[in-house]
Structure 1
């Protein structure tokens, strides 16, 4: 599945407001879809890169022999879901960033759909 198709599929998830595929090495997004006036996905992608890097530093400091599947940030009206792509895909520094409207979203299903999209994504 191409980046564009993965972004389109992500936007079909109930409650999806915006999505980005981000390289957390550089902080740059490889593609975005959705967003709007109140959600600048380029800025959000760069900011969430810092979230991912901080968590990876903490895990290294604790000598955790584990990997991050996803990171959830819960706001009053939104869910921000960060799903790291598995290194086995040959893209160890990429993550999908999905913003959901909390009133319309089912978080468990959104996580499941992102996992399926990840499995089929080719970068």
Structure 2
């Protein structure tokens, strides 16, 4: 089991093309931890903004009566992928991992696989 800091560092160094990663509480919009980012990628702003995305999708699924659980949400930009992975482990309700990737260097399928693995090992 990895702690938050170790898990975020693993995502940043172990996932090809990573630009930044955060653990986010979507009830408050607060980033509980971040690694990477920079002047072109403010992870605290991204955490707050992506909280709105998660909340909107959860509300929409409720209105549609869908009983499935969200695995992840992908936002594809011209030069980046933004991946949101909702946490499912006990004690992690209301949390998600947010990963920004450089589209030219990232392998999206591998990034999803690796992020799922990191999420499974993360101890909150």
TM-score in terms of structure 2 length: 0.97
Secondary structure at the counterpart of residue 45 of structure 1? helix
Q: Give 2:110's aligned residue.
A: 109
Aligned length: 122
Segments of 5+ residues of structure 2 without an aligned counterpart are none
Specify the alignment match of 1:56 in structure 2: 58
**Per-residue CA distance 1:44-101 (angstroms, 9 max, x = gap):** 0000000000000000000101110000000000000000001x42211000000000
Match of 1:82 in 2: 84
Unaligned runs of 5+ in 1: none
- Over aligned residues, Cα RMSD in angstroms? 0.6
- State whether structure 2 residue 71 is matched by structure 1 residue 69: yes
- Cα distance in 2 between the residues matched to 1:47 and 1:76: 18
Q: After TM superposition, where is structure 1 displaced by more than 3 Å over at least 4 residues in a row?
A: none
